[in-house]
Amino acid sequence: MRVVQHSVFLPAEPAKLYAMYLDPLKHAAFTGGGEVDIAPLEGAAFSAFGGRIHGRILLLNPDRQIVQTWRSFEWLPDDPDSILLLTFEPELSGTRLELLQGPVPEHLHDKLQQNWPMRYFDPWRAALERKPEM
């Protein structure tokens, strides 16, 4: 088992990014990946990309941190859920988003490492630059 880690800059304040991630319509809009079911409630189940990923919200530190269990349709039945930790740190003219996900199955590590920027960070940045009111 391995860990996926990213540190990215997004051009919006932490509160806005935190709210976008936890809003099903905004989450679906910026990822462009299909239906999202999520709510800002500890213990709530979530799914994204039309159910291709799912888990449960473990901890919310408003505007600062989101902790979830996480797995995708590609996990094997014996693969344990990942813990996903998203931390939002204010930075000049935006936010430093730190992502830590683990354990991730060995057979999916490289794919997950590549997919976070492609499926989340790049489209999120593009949505913020395209629609500042989002």
pLDDT band at 64 (very low <50, low <70, confident <90, very high): very high
> What's the whole-model pTM score?
0.93
Task: Dump pLDDT digits (tens) for 18-42.
Answer: 999 999 999 999 998 889 999 999 9
Where are the domains positioned within the chain?
2-129
Mean pLDDT of the chain: 94
- Is residue 133 over pLDDT 70? no
What is d(CA 73, CA 8) in angstroms, rounded to the nearest whole number?
26
DSSP letter (8 states) at residue 105: -
Bridge partners, residue 101, by sequence: 4, 84
Q: Which CATH number fits domain 2-129: 1.10.390.10, 3.30.530.20, 3.40.640.10, 3.30.565.10?
A: 3.30.530.20
